[in-house]
Amino acid sequence: MTDYPALHPVGDWIRDALPPPYAAVANGALAVASMVALVTVTAIFLIWLERKVCARFQARLGPTRVGPFGLLQPIADAIKLLMKENIRPRKVDKLAYHLAPLLPITGSFLVLAVIPFSHNLQVADLSAGVVYVVAVSGLGILGVLIGGWGSNNKYSLLGAMRSGAQLFSYELSLVLCMLLVVMAAGTASLREIVLSQQGTVLDWWIFKMPLAGLVAFAVFMISSTAELNRGPLDLSEAESELTGGFHTEYTGITFSMFFLAEFVNMFASAALGATFFLGGFLAPQFGIGPVDGVLAAIPGVVWFFAKAYLIIFLYMWFRWTFPRLRIDHLLSLEWKFLLPVSLANLLLGATLVTFGLLIP
Amino acid sequence: MNEEIPAASGVPVKAGNNRPSLRRFLGDAASLFKGMGTTFRYVSRPRRVVTREYPENRGDLKFPERFRGQVVMPHDGNDDHNCTACTLCEKACPNGSISILTTKNLASKRVLGAFVYRLSSCTLCNLCIEACPFDAIRMGHGFEMAAYSRDDLDLILNRTEGR
């Protein structure tokens, strides 16, 4: 077993250089600053990636003009959005209307705070990390509901209510998938969950529990797609039916907050998937000496982002392949299919764990 | 409810056959992967990209056979054309974009003086080309029609006068 120290050299250096109270503040500020940088860069990069990947799925080229490979396109988009006049419809509920765009981005920020990007890159390692993740990711739902209600527009309200129904429903399967891993790993701390997957690739929870892990991963992918409001489960937007859904009445910077949150949420969700099922920051090991040595030499943070982006590619692949579901189909998919499947899967997983039938 | 109704594909299906079955489920699940395979083939083969980057590929633009750019009048090596100034194209034009101005040649024969083509009002509808019995005009490949003045869009298609 490799030793994975929890403290980062930079943090140690600051602790050495400053007296304890100042060091704590400085380290906290550093953590917040790096989270802000991560969120900004991730959002901008993902917007570019989404446009590029979607274009290639449709046999197009995507943005190519602004910067090399169109890399500066999202910056141009951001400038356009920020320069736009911020129109507030006359009869909106002012507090709700202005509060709503802030909640989803706050939620994804808070989720990212407990993600172990590497063994020593984690803002906070909560012992009940999974519970915390489930709780704060609910802020996104709240933002959607409040935004739809505060807009004072029937389409926004319909979109928000649909979205609320969808998000509340799919949260169940999502939590049951996480619960399976928590049960198998015997801990709810995300760092500990990653460390419980040490060994070869077969020790990752997606493979370690025969069948149960794969089913849980599939259900996780479906329900997190629904949680992210992405196609084919993007019922809250459904631009062909609802003229944009809950963010119909938002313009300029308030709209861009929703837009940004969508992409940061996608990253947070992919990060969770990588943490729970794909061994997080651990390098994949195949039990072949030299190959393993090379793979293990690559830093954990690289592996983490590689795995997260693999899942993000899957999300994009889903979105640009499948047609959107109807609202009643969507809800019956969850309540009549995914929920029973995850419950049965949880039972199967419990049996496997109890009788020690995991892949050694 | 078990009468057979023809499906769009021509395969008869039983009406009301919506009962969940394992076979049906597996078929549906397989269809999802089939769709993902199709889209993945687009990603994995860059040659399938249909986008053409216009100003860069200006040198080797490929036009479809029936592409309709602005009307041109083909001339042969002697700067001769097939136009007999019969004015059928002028009459066929719904916009009055064509005016045939005639003149007399040395043998006092009525010939084309100027084929005035007003690009500003032309919709590239191809009716003049269809009307022409001598193939004197055809749809060219010119599509970069921007001009600084409206007068620049009044073109004279024949190169020589009175032949």
A307 compared with A236, residue with greater pLDDT: A307
pLDDT reported for residue B1: 42
- Among A321, A328, A333, the strongest candidate for a mutation testing the B interface, having the largest count of B CBs within 10 A, is A321
Compare CB distances from A60 to B32, B39, B51 and report the shortest one's residue: B51
B39 touches chain A (CB under 8 A): yes
Whether A57 sits inside 8 A of B43 (CB atoms) is yes
pLDDT for B89 beyond 80: yes
What is the interface size between A and B, counted as CB pairs within 8 Å? 33
β partners of residue B100: B115
State the Cα–Cα distance between residues B137 and B128, nearest whole angstrom: 8
β partners of residue B102: B112
Q: To the nearest whole percent, how much of chain A has pLDDT over 90?
A: 14
Whether B36 sits inside 8 A of A321 (CB atoms) is yes
Which residues in chain B have their CB less than 8 angstroms from residue A320's CB?
39
Which residues in chain A have their CB less than 8 angstroms from residue B48's CB?
59
Compare CB distances from B39 to A55, A57, A64 and report the shortest one's residue: A57
Whether A58 sits inside 8 A of B42 (CB atoms) is yes
Compute chain A's Rg from CA coordinates: 21
Q: In the structure, what pLDDT confidence band is assigned to residue A242 with cuts at 50, 70 and 90?
A: low
DSSP A299-351: -HHHHHHHHHHHHHHHHHHHHTTSPPPPHHHHHHIIIIIIHHHHHHHHHHHHH
B47 touches chain A (CB under 8 A): no
- Among B36, B43, B56, B57, the strongest candidate for a mutation testing the A interface, having the largest count of A CBs within 10 A, is B43
- Show me where the domains of chain A are located: 90-354
Q: Which two tokens stand for residue A176?
A: 């049951």
- Determine the residue of chain A that is closest to B55 in CA distance: A65
pLDDT reported for residue A343: 93
Burial of A139 (0-12, 13-18, 19+ CB in 10 A): buried
B7 touches chain A (CB under 8 A): no
Q: pLDDT by residue (tens digit) across A78-124?
A: 888 888 888 888 888 888 888 888 888 888 888 988 998 888 888 88
Q: Which two tokens stand for residue A1?
A: 């077993």
- ipTM (interface predicted TM): 0.73
Q: Check: CB of residue B59 under 8 Å from CB of residue B76.
A: no
* B22 to chain A, closest Cα gap in Å: 13
B32 touches chain A (CB under 8 A): yes
pLDDT reported for residue B116: 93
Q: pLDDT by residue (tens digit) across A157-207?
A: 888 888 888 888 888 899 999 999 998 888 888 888 888 888 888 888 888
Which residues in chain A have their CB less than 8 angstroms from residue B50's CB?
59-60
